[in-house]
Structures are given as structure tokens and as C-alpha cells.
Chains A and B, each alone.
Chain A
Amino acid sequence: MKVYLAYVLLHELGHHELGHGSAGNLSYENKGDREFRQKEKDADRYAFTIFGKLLQANPMVRKKADSIIEITLDNATQKEDAAIAILYMAETILLCMQFGLSPYSQYYSDDAHPTYLDRINGVAEEIAALPDIRPDIVAKARRLQKTIAVTQSLIGRYDIAEITLNDGILDAAFYPEGVRFISTKFNGYTQIPFAKVRQYAGSGLWHYNEQPADLIPFKASLDSSADIILFSLKNAGTYCLEKGTDRLYAVEKNAFRMLPADTFDHAFETPGTVVYGPMPSPNVYVLAGGELKSVSAKGEPPKHKSSLKSQLLINSTCLQWSWTIFIRCPTVIFWVWALELSRIR
């Protein structure tokens, strides 16, 4: 059972059965109509209610819900069955908004549609307030609300940028002015300067969709089966280490340039693996021969100039400016926390 697909179809069926006018699960032309928000809520409620019946009618869905939300369905009343179905669906929807292929995320909102976080929080609140319902179900609803609250709070605590990529990614690393990704196609890297990221009007959310020009092809001396890891050194650039080897490359325009073995103050040993280093820092930590070593660039690192746009962007916000990058692509979601950009000012 495709839960998210079923939910979306039920939501639209709700608009039909409730005699609404034309409407969408998410954005739609008829924005600004105040009645729309209530109609959307009603369609959500319809979808959740019918899904409860669907759960009862389908033993497979029921079994899966049981395992996912870790609540046994034995001896549950009809009301409790419905509550469990709703919680199951709500958790699945959050998962789908975060990891699905849709360009919409759980943070998306418009005039007619609150964010999915708000939509789901509302039903979780109703479940938690139901009389005569098992305490473990109420506790589950409260836990879901806590998850939602934490997710919502990210927008207040960080500048979150959603970057939607066209392909899956093998790895990602910050460089001083932006972030770079290696795609699963292994045909180059995608470079997105922070200056390109734009803010949704009226929200704290920034977004960017990868454009073809963002892909910088390289003549890789790596083959597509190579197991790599990216890391960045503060003011020194982005590097690629082939896992299990001492082969190290500088990520440069159009090429991965192989570096001499003495590039860093500690040579990589075999098998060398960078265990930490997604953010630019003065050094990275390398697991080599079972020992954790700090590795830093030799000599005076080259100075990077940040763009005027980046400077303005940073200065217009706050002193300790941080970014959280929320990358949405077909394969992997990376939450890369709190890159402190204050050093660029």
C-alpha cells in the first residue's frame, strides 16, 4: 500500500465528496480565498477518517501500522484503530515530504495550505485530546507533536535552505562560499554558491533548484565504482579522498587533481578514511591504521574572497550567521548543521 499516494488521492476525493470547488493537495491557482484553508482542513480530515476504515479493512496495512508506530492493535476499539491509522499515516506523510521525489517539503505553505507540519500537528492534537483512548496512543500522539515542534523550530533557529538536486548524491561538502555535491552519475560536481539561494516570500525558508549550469563536469581519474569521501579545509578548498587508499584529490574546476602525498602535515595511511569533515575547518580527522589523526593543510592557507552578495547577505542577518542546508534529491537527504559563516565577514 502506497500510504502517501493513498492519502493524496483521499484528500482529492474529499474535495469531491464534500462538494468543494476545484482544489489541490498543495499549491493551486485559487490562492487567497479564505474559505480555502477550511476546505483543505476538511479534505484532510476526510482523508484521515477514510484511512482509518482502510486500515481496518486491510490486514496488511494494519500489520504494517502496528510495527511502524510500535503500538499493538490487539483489542483496540474502533476509535483507537482510527487514531492509530491517523498517526501511522501522519508519520508516513512526514517521511514522504522529507524523502519523496516531490519538490514540496514539509515546510511548504501557501495562502490556502498550511505547512504539512501544521496539518499533521492539528490531527495529532485532536487524537491526544480524545476521551476514552489508550494512554500509549495518547503518548504516541504527543511524541509526534514533539517531533513536529522540533522540526518547526529549526526554521527559527537556523536559516534553512532547501536545495533540490536532479540526481542522487554520493557526498557533499561546504566550501567557503557555498556547498558542493558529487552526484551518483559521477560525471562532475554540482557547485551552489549561497548567493544563488533565494528566500521564499513571507517565510524563513530559502530554496534553490539545481540548474544544468551548476554541474561542473570533470575528467575524473576516478572510476564510477570508487568509494570516495569529500571534506573541506578552512580557506584551503574541497578535497576528495578515495576510501581505503592514500589517493587524495583537490576538487577543482573541471577536474579532480591528484595531490602529492605530502600535501598535508600527516600523510594519509592505508586504509585512510575521513571520519569527520563536512564543514570547512582548520583540520579534519582521519582514521588511519586504527588511529584517529588530525590533519591540516601545510603552510599559510590561500585567502578566499567571498562575493559581495554573500557579504551583504551575511551582514544583513546577524553576527553569528549560520546555515542549515536541507538537500532534497532522489537518493539521500543530508542535514548539514550550522555552518558558521561569521569568519567570512
Chain B
Amino acid sequence: MSQQRDFDSIINTIATVSGLKQKVFINQPFDVADAADNGLHFFITDHQTSSFTNCQQGNAVYDAAIKAVFIDISLLRSSDWMSYAPQVGFEILEEDMPF
């Protein structure tokens, strides 16, 4: 859930700061019946769906045809680090992780 919050927060922040005019949709399906759905979609994906998204592990891609950004979930997984780090004696605070 914290990953989702981070993701939502970053997207909303960069959309505001960049002055993006279009509406942003985060992990929401396309609604062809909704004329207002002409914004930019962001989807968290898994590399197993790369045959459709072209987004491999550790990557992100922009699909101009459907105005969507796919971002691989591994880029959000700082929590993996948090679980490994204590085993090798590192003390890391999640807010210090730049990933």
C-alpha cells in the first residue's frame, strides 16, 4: 500500500510541477464511453505482461498510441531492500532509499 501511495504521490506531484494539462489516470482502466477519458494513463505492470506492454523488468515505456506509461513494479520495490539489508548488518531507513 505504501508503494501505491508513493507512486500516486510522485505522479500527482510531477503532473502538477510539469504543468500537465491533461487528466491523469493511475491504474485505472480505459473508459471508451467517457469522452473525458483523453488523459494520460499510468500503469504499474509486471514483466510477465511485456508481450503486451513492451515493458521489461526494471524498465518503463511510453505507448503513444494509447497515451499510457507502463512502469515495471520492480522500480517501486524498495521494500525488498529493507528486508535484505538487516541480514548483512546495514541499517537503512526507507525514507533514505532513493529508488
- Which residues of B48-99 are within 8 A (CB) of A? 54-65, 67, 69, 71, 74-78, 80-81, 84-85, 87-88, 97-99
Task: Report the stretch among A24-32, A121-129, A197-205 that lies at the interface.
Answer: A24-32
B62 close to A330 (CB less than 8 A): no
Provide the B1-18 mask, 1 if CB < 8 A to any CB of A, else 0: 000001100110111011
Contacting pair B10 A13 (CB below 8 A): no
Report whether A15 and B64 are in contact in the complex, using a CB–CB cutoff of 8 Å.
yes
User: Does A184 lie within 8 Å of B88, measured CB to CB?
Assistant: yes
Number of A interface residues in the complex (CB < 8 A): 44
Question: B6 contacts which of A2, A13, A92 (Cβ < 8 Å)?
Answer: A2
A1 to B: closest C-beta gap in Å: 7
When the two chains form their complex, are residues A8 and B75 in contact, meaning their CB atoms are under 8 A apart?
yes
Known: A24-B54, A103-B57, A184-B88. A2 touches B78 (CB 8 A): yes
Is A24's CB under 8 angstroms from B55's CB?
yes
**Chain A residues in 8 Å Cβ range of B14:** 6, 9-10, 13, 50, 54
**Pair B63/A9 contact, Cβ less than 8 Å:** no
Cβ 8 A contact of A26, one of B59, B62, B69, B98: B59
Contact indicator B62/A23 (Cβ below 8 Å): yes
B18/A9 in contact, CB under 8 A: no
Q: Across the interface, name the chain B residue whose C-beta is closest to A24.
A: B61
User: A24, A58, A168: which contacts B59 (Cβ < 8 A)?
Assistant: A24
Give chain A residues whose Cβ lies under 8 Å from the Cβ of B54.
Answer: 22, 24, 28-29
Is A10 in contact with B18, judged by CB distance below 8 angstroms? Answer: yes
Q: Are A6 and B10 in contact (CB under 8 A)?
A: yes
Q: Which of B42, B85, B97, B98 contacts A9 (CB 8 A)?
A: B42
Residue interface bits B25-44, CB-to-A below 8 A is 1, else 0: 00000000000000010100
By CB atoms of chain A within 10 A, which of B15, B56, B58, B78 has the most? B58
Q: Is A331 an interface residue (CB 8 A)?
A: yes
Tell me which of B57, B62, B67, B84 contacts A102 (CB under 8 A). B57
Beta-carbon contact of B84 and A95 below 8 Å: no
Contact A184 B13 (CB under 8 A): no
- B62 partner residues in chain A, CB cutoff 8 A: 12-13, 15-16, 20, 22-24
Chain A residues closer than 8 Å to B42, beta-carbon distance: 9
A15 vs B40: C-alpha distance in the bound complex, in angstroms? 12
Contacts of A194 in B (CB 8 A): none
Which residues of A approach B to under 8 Å, CB–CB? 1-6, 8-13, 15-17, 20-29, 50, 53-54, 57-58, 92, 95-96, 100-104, 168, 170, 184, 330-332
Interface of B with A (CB < 8 Å)? 6-7, 10-11, 13-15, 17-18, 20, 40, 42, 54-65, 67, 69, 71, 74-78, 80-81, 84-85, 87-88, 97-99
Of all A-B residue pairs in the complex, the 8 with the closest CB atoms, nearest first, are A102-B58, A24-B61, A15-B62, A331-B84, A168-B84, A12-B69, A3-B98, A12-B62
20 A-B pairs (CB sep. < 8 Å):
A5-B7, A5-B75, A8-B71, A9-B60, A10-B18, A13-B40, A16-B67, A20-B62, A20-B64, A21-B64, A22-B64, A28-B61, A53-B18, A54-B13, A57-B17, A101-B99, A102-B59, A104-B58, A170-B88, A330-B80
| Supplied contacts A2-B97, A25-B60, A100-B75, 17 more A-B pairs, CB within 8 Å | A2-B99, A4-B75, A5-B7, A8-B60, A22-B63, A23-B61, A25-B59, A27-B59, A29-B54, A102-B58, A102-B59, A102-B74, A168-B87, A170-B87, A330-B80, A331-B81, A332-B88
